[in-house]
Every structure is written in structure tokens, then in C-alpha cells.
Amino acid sequence: TSTGGITAKRAGRVGDTPVFGAGTFADDETCAVSCTGTGEVFIRYTAAADIAARLRYKGESLAKAAADVIAELAPCGGDGGLIALGAAGDPVMPFNSSGMYRGMIGGDRMLRTAIHREEFRAVPL
């Protein structure tokens, strides 16, 4: 998950990471989400909870819900991205910034990492 910190942040600033529904969300029926980016915008728009609501109430796929939320945050100054897992463990990692450090280990025991929009680089464990 995200560190919840940015360089040169104001003293006393609380980012979205510890705010359930904004930078973090999880339940057994829909998804688990961890966001990173311009926390104030992720808080204002309850980004993580919005993704779960789109799954629960609109029947959207995790990929569509997560990508749409990230795209909708961009015009508001919400640069960043997220890592989300669906109830069945399916991962999505959309972002609207130039890059986002991310990685995962799949059932095939391959470590996959990426920073920019390139395909994941896979390495066996």
C-alpha cells in the first residue's frame, strides 16, 4: 500500500492512505483498494469507496470502475493511481500519472513489476 507521504508536505497533513473509503477500502463482496497520489483529491471524492459502490450498485467490472474513477480524478488535480483486487483476486492497477511503482506475485509464482506504462517484467521466485 501507499506510504501516505509526499515530499515537502505541510506539517500535520493527513493524506488519503489512513482514511477508509478515500485511500483504502476492503470488503468481502466487492474489492480491496489502496490508492496513491494527490491525497486531498482522493479524500474529497472518496475514490476507493466509489470503486466498490460502482461494483455493488452498477454492476461494473473492477477494471472499468477503477479506470473510470482514476480518469475522473485527473481534471480535479487527482494525479495518481491505485492497486485493487476483486473478490476473486483479480488485480487492476490503473493510474493517470506518468508512472506508478507497482508489483505483484501471481499464482504462477512469478514476480511482476512495472513503473511506467510498459508491460510487467516477470521474474520467477
pLDDT tens-place string over residues 103-115: 999 889 999 999 9
pTM (two decimals): 0.87
Average pLDDT, the chain: 90
Which three three-digit cell numbers place residue 72?
A: 475522473
Domains of the chain are 24-98 (3.60.20.30)
d(CA 16, CA 119): 28
Quick one: pLDDT at residue 55? 98
- CA 42 to each of CA 7, 59, 72, 88: distance values in angstroms, whole numbers, following the listed order: 17, 22, 11, 25
For the stretch 38-83, pLDDT in tens is 888 999 999 999 999 999 999 999 999 999 999 999 999 999 999 9
